[in-house]
Structure 1
Amino acid sequence: MATNAEIAGRFEEFADLLEADDVEYKPRAYRRAAENIRSYPSPIADRIEAGDREAVENIDGVGDAIASKIVEYVETGEIEELEELRAELPIDIADITRIEGVGPKTAGKLYRELGVQSLDDLEEAAESGEIQDVKGFGPKTEQNILENLEFARTVGQRQLLGEARPLADDVLAFLESIDAVERCEVAGSIRRWRETIGDVDVLAATDAGEAVVEQFVAWDSVDDEIESGPEKASIRVGEIRVDLRVVVPEEFGSALQYFTGSKDHNVALRNYAIDRDMKLNEYGAFDVSEIDDPDAGQRVGDRVAGETEAGMYEALGLQWIPPELRTDRGEIAAAESGDLPDLVTRDDIRGDLHSHTEWSDGNTTIEAMVEAAADRGYDYFGIADHAEGPGIVGGMGLSDTEILEQVEEIREVAAAADIEVFAGIEANVDADGEIGLSEEVIDALDVIVASTHSALDQDAETATERLVHAVENPAVDVLGHPSGRMLNERSGLEFDASALGKAAAEHDTALEVNSNPHRLDLWGSAVQAALEEGAAIAINTDSHQPSTLEYMRWGVHTARRGWAEPADVINAWELAELREFLH
């Protein structure tokens, strides 16, 4: 059955191919529809199967024409018009546009001029020097393509956390419905909340392993059975592979610790155990102090733990280490000394300072966004639509006059709201680190989020200087999605996170963890580096509609990967403390 993410992906491809074909207007409509399809709160395919076409047509940005295409795809697995467009433009558009600076229009031109259809074709054309001979291109573009080919090839092999984790939740719900399953949990990178994952790993504790495997591969959401056996099985749901492993209940904790990883964490923990005459593996923790040959077998020694994961760490005298921290970045030493952080949770979040409305590229009104935030129990909420500037295309950015007009409307909504509403803007950090807002606008606003949207191919030294200059600006409250990356699409800026964190701490500017699952920017190691320099962070959703306020889930876990505690997160603070921080 087609997932929402899969359906959205077809319309994103549609938009890219139309843009590559120089079609105007339609691409933006298809992208808006794709975003709303992806974030729709229930499976669209289920609605169609139930004959509820009206629900599909009522999705924001989805009218009768797009709804017909959605129904066609769910029922047949194809969209005839998309297949015709693919035949007309046989381009691996998703792969090619992962190259920084190569968008759909560029991909279309390279196809028409040089016949480039794939990354291999692109590499051949760049290495032969043909690209720089195409009008509008040059040696710099050609070199950029060569430098980014490896990235483009690698990222296409992984799924976004925001697309894979909802499926993992569905898998867990299904396994929990099986009477023979005593416990189940995700494992691997998805349990560590990595921003992208290779596949979904799931572990189940049961004394009826073969029967559970049989029910798992017969699950009605399965599109393809890859393989199965008495202790494990692999299936495919949509475009995502799910691997199940069944273990006996008394070994569930040790297996969960082992299969959660990371590899670096497990190696370090295993070595820590060896130094204490212990052995760790997926079957348990074993005291091997009286054993001549600890490697004689997997279960050699006196088994002292394994039923629970916490017991595996306790057997070594360690605090239980949250999965997000298992990266071998000091977590074992902290667990030994009892100094693990009290990590931020979703319940700690009191508001969101970065959201969009129909004033720029959002899909709804200021009032609707504020109401949705209030419904989530927030104390405060910030509207931060786009200001005009570099990287903001299609006239979506607001002029100074329009910003001031919007501030008036925000104040009117705020007067009637049950929560505090901040009038903000998302300013654009240009190539030199300037934000381009007038003093009148700055004075009228409560919060300024400054973000990069252009010149994302700068070298690390230049990018660091640019971002440091932005956080030093006394008008800037939050540096939004600092790298400008889009996961599986573009790599964004490389920069020195420690230097940026130091500057942010000195100038009371928060660094954003952008919760959009396509961004998750800052990421775990960068958050940790910034916090070590004394910086504060803001976990924002960058929402463009009420449903995507749920993106906070991804941002919180990303911040946890960076060892963030509630005191580090400005939107976990009381309103009075936050107001004092804002310039």
Structure 2
Amino acid sequence: MSRNAEVASLLEEFADLLEAKDVEYKPRAYRRAAENIRGHPAAVEHLAVEGEDGVKEIDGVGDAIASKVVEYFETGGIEELDELRNDLPVDMAALTSVEGVGPKSVGTLYDALGITTLDELEEAAESGEIQDVEGFGETTEANIREGIAFAREAHERELLGEARPYGDRVREFLAGVDAAAEVELAGSIRRWRPTIGDVDVLVGSDDADAVVAAFANWDAADTVIEAGESKASLRVDDFRVDLRVVAENEFGAALQYFTGSKDHNVRLRNRAIDRDLKMNEYGIFDVSEVDDPDAGQRVGERVGGATEAEMYEALDLPWIPPELREDRGEVAAAADGALPELLETGDVRGDLHTHTEWSDGGNTIREMAEGAAAFGHDYLAITDHATGPGMVGGVGLSDADLREQIGEIRAVDDEVDIDLFAGVEANVGADGSISVADDVLETLDVVVASPHVSLDGDGTDRLVSAVEHPEVDVLGHPTGRLRNQRDGLDVDIDRLAEAAATEAVALEVNSDPRRLDIDGSLVKPAVEAGATIAIDTDAHQPGTLEYVRYGVHTARRGWTEADDVLNARDTDGVREFLGL
């Protein structure tokens, strides 16, 4: 697993600190470099071996940033970043998780009031100090005060898309340890929840000491938090990684137990009790002949536990995929033989929401097309931003720009080994209006309509109005939610899904880990109402096409099958849906 996301996060921190110190131009360069590194197909650590010239192969990475990347891999740190941290010793991630507080605000509040943490920000807001700082005021202070609780909760959990690569790295490392017979991620990261607490990894081994020793000596670890006989915890960058080692013949029981969720496990234990069985992290036991089933964890005749499948089979159930284990009817469905045949990543055959350098993407139309073809897609829609609300910095295309771009898309389509659709990401106004003229929309293959502003309160009427527009094909990131930053719109999903099904408009699962919108809790009722789902990456460079896995697993959490997904169809099937 590459370390691209790790380096990108450092550069984003660099940008935030520079912006907080009111440095011009540089923050934007660092953010662009971070985005391109995160999406680059090659591992940045391998490019860094070749020195600055190797790193500069990545678009948007110049001499200064390349030298810092090389320095990081050679020394484990970046001296200038450490200096910025010392000059501005703030918890930037926590403070900027408060809606309306950006890096510049953090810098101003530090200079004026010495605020470095969420607790200090809350204290200042409660005492009325913030409103006296130039550029703030009573309204801003009130908004900050209201946003603290959400920010505090968000700061305690990490984005799946940031944590999962670390989970993949630790799993790969432990799989190479001779003493480790079985290795798997557990907890919420295995259930692919949109945010997680810690990275949990489970190992089945009859030599726990050897596994713990290898884990504690992993060269990727910054700090060993604790290391015991069968448990250990490390700090890798900003992530806590927790290891638990169990006996090989109890691995399946432990994996089922520690994957959760708690509600799912309670449902299973009650089913076990009804069958005179005892179910726990050590196995499943027949206690029908036991006088006191609570006398110990392993009392009774053991009837399963080496594999997860044995745990479910003992309860007369098929194995239930981790994404479904949220106690939303999955146990009853399993008992009735009615579990869905869940969508697989390989079922997705194209992407209907991507961006190029025509708006805020990092690559040309040809580069995106070739990247999608190399990724294995059969088709790709180019859907650059239109002008309108939420488009900061003039990155949106005018109607005239869109007409011009169609010609270029058609020209590239004739020359690449992938089918291209000409599209747009139009903006859904607060009144449900679409920000592109109807006559332009009619000339496009794919119209993705997405809300970008006024993202609070009930958005059902607004979104239904957008869905009912005759030229809209996909409702993009419907709630406008940004994970750990804002909640987004409230939606009556039943009403929206009914409208989408009636109008043949797909509801998007936006695979960008910062969005994952709509999430599994909304996907399930949408699918049940007959709505079609589109799983798109919102990619701004070829490398982020791989975000599709996060969208697929989010859709799986909503019980989605391949037949429910628009872009699991072949090109002809998509054309038919789009009326082309």
Contact kept? 1:387, 1:426, Cα under 8 Å: yes
CA distance in structure 1 between the aligned counterparts of 2:236 and 2:65, rounded to whole angstroms: 24
After superposition, where does 1:58-457 map in structure 2 within 5 Å? 58-86=57-85, 89-111=88-110, 116-132=115-131, 137=136, 139-456=138-455
- The residue that corresponds to 2:554 in the other structure is 558
* Cα separation, partners in 2 of 1:78 and 1:489, compared to 1, 3 Å: farther
Contact kept? 2:52, 2:63, Cα under 8 Å: no
CA distance in structure 2 between the aligned counterparts of 1:493 and 1:136, rounded to whole angstroms: 28
* Cα separation, partners in 2 of 1:213 and 1:17, compared to 1, 3 Å: closer
| Post-superposition offset of 1:384 | 0.6
Using the TM superposition, name which of 549-558 and 499-508 deviates more.
499-508
CA distance in structure 2 between the aligned counterparts of 1:88 and 1:431, rounded to whole angstroms: 42
- The residue that corresponds to 1:492 in the other structure is 488
Report the AA paired with residue 570 of structure 2.
E
- The residue that corresponds to 1:568 in the other structure is 564
* Cα separation, partners in 2 of 1:140 and 1:268, compared to 1, 3 Å: farther
Report the AA paired with residue 573 of structure 1.
R
After superposition, where does 1:416-565 map in structure 2 within 5 Å? 416-456=415-455, 458-459=456-457, 461=458, 463-565=459-561
Write out per-residue CA displacement over residues 131-183 of structure 1, whole angstroms, 9 at most, x where no aligned residue: 45666655543333222211111222222222222222222222222233222
CA distance in structure 2 between the aligned counterparts of 1:121 and 1:94, rounded to whole angstroms: 14
| Post-superposition offset of 1:10 | 2.5
Report the AA paired with residue 552 of structure 2.
V
Contact kept? 2:38, 2:544, Cα under 8 Å: no
CA distance in structure 2 between the aligned counterparts of 1:90 and 1:467, rounded to whole angstroms: 42
Using the TM superposition, name which of 464-473 and 273-282 deviates more.
464-473
| Post-superposition offset of 1:74 | 3.7
* Cα separation, partners in 2 of 1:111 and 1:506, compared to 1, 3 Å: farther
Contact kept? 1:6, 1:239, Cα under 8 Å: no
Q: How many residues align?
A: 579
| Post-superposition offset of 1:3 | 4.3
CA distance in structure 2 between the aligned counterparts of 1:474 and 1:377, rounded to whole angstroms: 31
Contact kept? 1:110, 1:116, Cα under 8 Å: yes
Using the TM superposition, name which of 553-562 and 125-134 deviates more.
125-134
| SS state at 1:469 partner | helix
CA distance in structure 2 between the aligned counterparts of 1:412 and 1:422, rounded to whole angstroms: 12
Write out per-residue CA displacement over residues 323-379 of structure 1, whole angstroms, 9 at most, x where no aligned residue: 000001110000000000000001111110011111111111101111121223322
* Cα separation, partners in 2 of 1:227 and 1:40, compared to 1, 3 Å: farther
* Cα separation, partners in 2 of 1:18 and 1:213, compared to 1, 3 Å: closer
Using the TM superposition, name which of 251-260 and 467-476 deviates more.
467-476
Contact kept? 1:343, 1:566, Cα under 8 Å: yes
Runs (5+) with no aligned partner, structure 1? none
- Calculate the TM-score normalised by the size of structure 1: 0.94
Contact kept? 1:4, 1:37, Cα under 8 Å: yes
Report the AA paired with residue 341 of structure 2.
D
Report the AA paired with residue 266 of structure 1.
N
| Post-superposition offset of 1:241 | 1.9
Contact kept? 2:438, 2:471, Cα under 8 Å: no
Query: Percent same amino acid among aligned pairs?
Result: 63
| Post-superposition offset of 1:130 | 4.5
CA distance in structure 1 between the aligned counterparts of 2:101 and 2:226, rounded to whole angstroms: 38
CA distance in structure 2 between the aligned counterparts of 1:209 and 1:123, rounded to whole angstroms: 45
| SS state at 2:414 partner | helix
CA distance in structure 2 between the aligned counterparts of 1:209 and 1:107, rounded to whole angstroms: 46
| Post-superposition offset of 1:32 | 0.9
CA distance in structure 2 between the aligned counterparts of 1:136 and 1:532, rounded to whole angstroms: 49
